[in-house]
């Protein structure tokens, strides 16, 4: 699955470069939309009670290439879907919305998988820095507005498993 995503990204890059470099007029650049591929399950849990807030299907961004691509080139994301970025260590993180077509909530989590901060309703295509506000080893991206709807707060945590 991950190899297919990398191949699709390489092919779309070659297509864009070939199309842009051609001198002919009337060339149309088709954007390839990346579709969601379930790679795991994630549960959001309320701090203190461990009651389940929400269960999500997730894609995992485990490699640097996958983390760099993130949710770019997506035109939709369902309420029960998200992407979990897994980093090798915990440190301050910063994300941006380059080539991201949908608003997102970016949830930063520490090494214990507890929320340290949330960037709510990040604007599509905006390259402004969206910092974590603390050390984070995991980052969960969900559709914009859901973290408020679900009343997510610092200290809430996640559990996840890969398929």
Task: For residues 82 and 137, state if they share a domain.
Answer: yes
Same domain, 17 and 82: no
Residue among 147, 21, 146, 33 nearest 99 (CA):
33
User: 110 and 154: one domain?
Assistant: yes
Q: 61 and 1, same structural domain?
A: no
Q: Are residues 23 and 61 in the same domain?
A: no
Host domain of residue 122: 34-162
**63 and 130, same domain (yes or no):** yes
Give the C-alpha separation, 104 to 81, whole Å: 12
Same structural domain for residues 25 and 64? Answer: no
Mark whether 94 and 156 lie in a shared domain.
yes
Three-state SS string across the chain, please?
Answer: CHHHHHHHHHHHHHHHHHHHHCCCCCCCCCCCCCCCCCCEEEEEECCCCCCEEEEEEEEEECCHHHHHHCCCCCCCCCCCEEEEEEEEEEEEEEECCCCCCCCEEEEEECCCCEEEEEEEEECCCCCCCEEEEEEEEEEEEEECCHHHHCCCCCCCEEEEEEC
Q: How far apart are CA 145 and CA 134, in angstroms?
A: 22
pLDDT tens for the 163 residues of the chain, in order: 554 454 445 445 544 445 455 455 567 766 667 889 999 999 999 999 999 999 999 999 999 999 999 999 999 999 999 999 999 999 999 999 999 999 999 999 999 999 999 999 999 999 999 999 999 999 999 999 999 999 999 999 999 999 9
Domain count, the chain: 2
What whole-number distance in Å separates Cα of residue 85 and Cα of residue 75?
Answer: 19
pTM of the shown model:
0.81
């Amino acid at each position: 699955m991950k190899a297919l995503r990398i191949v699709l990204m390489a092919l779309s890059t070659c297509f864009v470069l070939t199309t842009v470099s051609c001198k002919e007029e009337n060339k149309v650049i088709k954007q390839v939309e990346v579709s969601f591929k379930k790679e795991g399950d994630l549960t959001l849990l309320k701090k203190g009670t461990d009651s389940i807030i929400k269960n999500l299907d997730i894609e995992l961004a485990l490699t640097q290439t996958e983390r760099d691509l993130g949710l770019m080139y997506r035109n939709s994301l369902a309420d029960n879907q998200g992407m979990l970025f897994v980093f090798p260590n915990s440190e301050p993180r910063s994300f941006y919305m380059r080539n991201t077509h949908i608003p997102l909530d970016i949830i930063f989590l520490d090494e214990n998988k507890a929320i340290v901060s949330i960037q709510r309703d990040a604007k599509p295509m905006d390259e402004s820095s969206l910092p974590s506000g603390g050390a984070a080893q995991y980052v969960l991206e969900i559709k914009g507005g859901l973290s408020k709807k679900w009343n997510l707060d610092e200290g809430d945590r996640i559990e996840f498993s890969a398929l």
